Structure 1
Amino acid sequence: MRTLEEVQATLQIAKLKEEDLHTTIHCLTFGENVSSADYCLMELDDTLCKHIEAGQSLIIRGDKDEHAVLCSEDKTYDLKIADTSNLLLFLPECRTPDQLSNSQDSSHVVHAQIWGFCNSYWELRRQRPKLKKLKKLLMENPYEGPALAGQEENTENRYTLQDLLERIQASEEEIKSHLETIHACQIDGYWRVLDFDYEMKLLGHVTQLVDSESWSLNKVPLQTSLEELAPLEPREMIEHCLNCYGKRYSENDEVYYALYEDRVCRGTALMLLHNAVKFNLREFQEVWQQSVPEGMSTSLEQLKGVALVDRTSRPQTISLLQVEDLPEDTAARFNHLFTLREKWTEEDITPYIHDLCGEKQTTGALLTKYARSSTQNGYKVFNSRRPVAT
């Protein structure tokens, strides 16, 4: 253990003036069996520091073949190792200058023991949650409706929320939000996504009932709907369908739903396009408008991110292209899009890259990085900046 005299002698050799330094002098020593593998350091921003100080948890998620991410309750962060040229020491008993008392008149020595050291740390960067795997897991066993008499329902590949939290690289809030987006529901404690045909069947029952009863699209009574459709489908499925395609509200102690025009029209369009490779655009628009409930108006704006119009073909066509089916990686997404179409207008490509934008990032910035622009027939178009891999 160094004495004050030894420290003062070292200062003289180093040609440092004792009066220029703090009166408290730390002498550092290594503890027994200290190694760089004992501790990992992580750099946190103010938000995450307050999160930890409030007693909340941070969780590292990822399967063995995935790059690990760190999740708070509602955000996802990429974990990357950052190297530093300075050796970082872990000193639990060391005090920083702002923690020291300046009331000491003379210098004194404080001994602090090093518990660990390293020359790298974990650096966190906010990133988009990786949610594509969520629907993929749930699609292993989609819910096709109640089992028919004499048939047993498939109980394999079913997932609770805890199962999903262990498998999906996203925070709990992000996972719950995406479950709502993909119209998943909880059945017998397991999260299930509805089979597409079954979901469209439910929507058809609801819209047909609205038409037959001449109800206002903004005032669909829940209780009457359940009673009328109970012989056809389970009550909880009818209510789930109304939650997916309408907004719930109460009036005079009665529960009603205001149907979302865009969601109902989009669902109907998906049903029409589901089994067609390409559809004549003009014919599609006519059939589509005839298929939605009376009082609703269809518009191609409702199909952004789920269907693509080819205006260069004669006649013009429309085909199914859902953003949720595209690669999650940004470079792979652009490569896939440019294999489908060599040149894109900004209006056409934006719905298919908007979800790739990080915090404070725009689709324009993504296009600048991954595409180059040119003018074709008076319109600005984008093609791949790199050779397209097929």
Structure 2
Amino acid sequence: MPNIHLSFSSSYNSDQGSYKLLELPSELCKLVEESLKGTKPLKFDIKGESTDDAVLCTNDRTYALRSVALSNSIVVATSPPYSSAIDFPEDTLVIRDQVNEILELTPVVPKLHKLSTLLRGTEYSEDNEDEDMESNGEQKLTYSDAKSLIQASNVELEKGLREKRILQVNGGLRPIASSYLSRIIELVLNTLVSQSIDHKVASVERLSAILLDDHEIPRPISTQVMSWFGTIEDGTWCMDVASVIKECGLTLLRRHKTDPQSVEQFTTAWKTMVGDTFASEVSMQLLAGNYLLGSGYDGTDTLTYFPASSLPTEPAPRFAYLFLTRSRWKSEDITPFLSDIAVNSKERDKLLLKYARPTTTSDGIWYTSRTQYNG
């Protein structure tokens, strides 16, 4: 064993608390190794306001930062500074700090719910197409602002903006009104049929021109909507049929927040809305996590609009709300309402074990609450 001389740094007192140890999970170690080889650039962002729990974001994932106390202290030692006036012996390490905890990283779902609060009152509809928020004295939330304020990676933020149907208009972010989005989707479907345009290779220029000339839908709006419901490459739009059919189903479903409708009547109206070309693609599975099944007076199956996006974002309140809504849930019925608060199915199952009690019966697994709630 080589002999090492240890010495306290002259700035030891001022350096205390300056160093933090970060424990990297295997996937982040791989990113660091690739960066050291020069194959991929590496950038980590720490995000969170003073009232938030900090998160670390890579380009495509978000991790919670949690402090874990160490049973044994760790000494941070470095080589002596070159500018030091002290003549240190060879093989000397200078003690700079003492660490009593490490920062642990755990994958978490991105905290996108803050978007709804930040964008409240800025909905974009056909009634205010030419409206500029700044000219009306309202503050724009820009994409750059969102990257700074929202605790999510860039990839997750982009996905969140698409899924929450948030437009970029005149430099600001604005959620599109569901009624306006529904109108645009219907116009797109009708145009594809009337103009005999293949939905797999539709010209973005032609489609957006028709929507502008015949229906006064601005090009930047129609193009963004197309990008939400398919892929645009080299000026050609390939429609994602499932996502368009789902949006049409949600349009109809939103009309039944309090008044249940029979599943049969609903699916018939849904097929009529999407037209004969896509009627065969209609499936209630597309709307999982957005409705509750019930039973009508005549015994027919009914559904009511009940979107997971409107539920609390933290696990404990989410389960409380679900079990106040229903005291018992079948496994396949409750899991769609948990997908947005768990990073994967393994994490979702952990949440179920923590907050729900499973019971196996002849018709499957049922969950009841581990806590009693008064409805």
TM over 0.5: yes
What residue number does 2:104 align with?
Answer: 123
Q: Which residue of 1 aligns with 2:247?
A: 267
Q: Work out the CA distance in 2 between the residues paired with 1:339 and 1:173.
A: 35
> Aligned match of 1:180 in 162, 185, 189?
162
- Displacement after TM superposition at 1:86 (Å): 2.3
Match for 1:137 among 118, 135, 140? Answer: 118
- Specify every segment of 5 or more residues in structure 1 that has no aligned partner in the other structure, as ranges: 1-21, 95-107
Q: Secondary structure of the residue that 1:142 maps to in structure 2? A: coil
What is the 5 A alignment of 1:336-355?
A: 336-355=321-340
Kindly provide the amino acid, as one letter, of the partner of residue 325 in structure 1. Answer: S
Kindly indicate whether the alpha-carbon contact (under 8 Å) linking 1:249 and 1:257 is maintained by their aligned counterparts in 2.
yes
Deviations 1:298-320 (A, max 9, x none): 22112112223225873321111
Give 3-state SS (helix, strand or coil) of 1:113's partner. strand
Partners of 2:2 and 2:328 in 1: how far apart?
70
Q: Which residue number in structure 2 is paired with residue 87 of structure 1?
A: 73
SS at match of 1:319: strand
> Does 2:63 match 1:77?
yes
- Report the equivalent of 1:163: 145
Is the 8 Å Cα contact of residues 279 and 317 (structure 1) preserved in structure 2?
yes
Write the distance in 2 (CA, Å) between the matches of 1:258 and 1:273.
26
Alpha-carbon deviations, 1:258-297, whole Å to 9, x = none? 4333222221222122232222322222222211122112
- The answer for the alignment partner of 2:48 in structure 1 is 62
| TM-aligned CA deviation for residue 210 of structure 1 | 2.4
Alpha-carbon contact 2:262-2:296 (below 8 Å) kept: no
Counterpart amino acid of residue 44 in structure 1: L
Contact 1:308 1:320 in 2 (8 A): yes
Aligned equivalent of 1:374: 359
Mean Cα deviation higher: 113-122 or 240-249: 240-249
Aligned-residue sequence identity (percent) comes to 25
User: In 2, distance between residues paired with 1:215 and 1:378?
Assistant: 46
Cα deviation, residue 163, structure 1: 0.7
Larger Rg: 1
Q: How many residues were matched structurally?
A: 351
Cα–Cα, structure 1 residues 218 and 49, in superposed 2: closer, same or farther, change >3 Å? closer
Tell me, yes or no, if structure 1 residue 34 matches structure 2 residue 18.
no
Q: 2:175 is matched with which residue?
A: 193
Deviation at 1:131, TM superposition (A): 1.5
Match of 1:248 among 223, 232, 236: 232
- Paired letter, 1:86: N
Correspondent of 1:283 among 265, 278, 281: 265
Q: Which residue pairs with 1:9 in the alignment?
A: none
- Cα distance per residue 1:89-122 (max 9 Å; x no partner): 221118xxxxxxxxxxxxx863332222232232
Q: Does 1:324 align with 2:309?
A: yes
CA distance in 2, matches of 1:369, 1:128: 18
Superposed displacement of residue 129, structure 1? 1.6
Is the aligned partner of 1:25 residue 2:34?
no
Cα distance in structure 2, aligned partners of 1:140 and 1:380:
42
Q: Specify whether residues 137 and 56 from structure 1 end up closer, same or farther in structure 2 by C-alpha distance, changes over 3 A only.
A: same
Aligned AA (1:358):
V
Q: Distance in 1 between matches of 2:6 and 2:192?
A: 80
CA drift at 1:365: 4.0
Q: Aligned with 1:294: secondary structure?
A: coil
Are residues 1:210 and 2:192 paired? yes
Structure 1 window deviating more from structure 2 (297-306 vs 351-360): it is 351-360
Question: CA 1:364–1:79 in 2, change beyond 3 Å: closer, same or farther?
Answer: closer
Q: Is the 8 A contact 2:12 2:96 kept in 1?
A: no
Tell whether the 8 Å contact from 1:73 to 1:172 is kept in structure 2 after alignment: yes
Asked if 1 retains the 8 angstrom alpha-carbon contact of 2:4 and 2:93, the reply is no
Deviation at 1:85, TM superposition (A): 3.0
**How far apart in 2 are the matches of 1:288 and 1:140?**
30
Q: 2: distance between equivalents of 1:271 and 1:81? A: 45
* 1:62-96: CA deviation from partner (whole Å, max 9, x where unpaired): 122211112222222211112123232221118xx
Which AA in structure 2 matches 1:71? C
Paired residues of 1:211 and 1:293 also in contact (CA < 8 A) = no
Take 1:345 and 1:371, find their aligned partners in 2: how far apart are those partners?
11
Q: Alpha-carbon deviation of 1:123?
A: 2.0
For the 8 Å contact 2:69–2:101, the answer to whether it is kept is: yes
Please give the per-residue CA displacement for 1:132-189, whole angstroms capped at 9, x wherever unaligned. 222442344122247368x765562422222112211112222122222223232222
1:224 pairs with one of 206, 210, 214: 206
TM-aligned CA deviation for residue 330 of structure 1: 2.0
1:214 deviates by 4.2
Q: Which runs of 5+ in 2 are unaligned?
A: 81-88
Root-mean-square deviation (Å): 2.9
Give 1:41 shift. 3.0
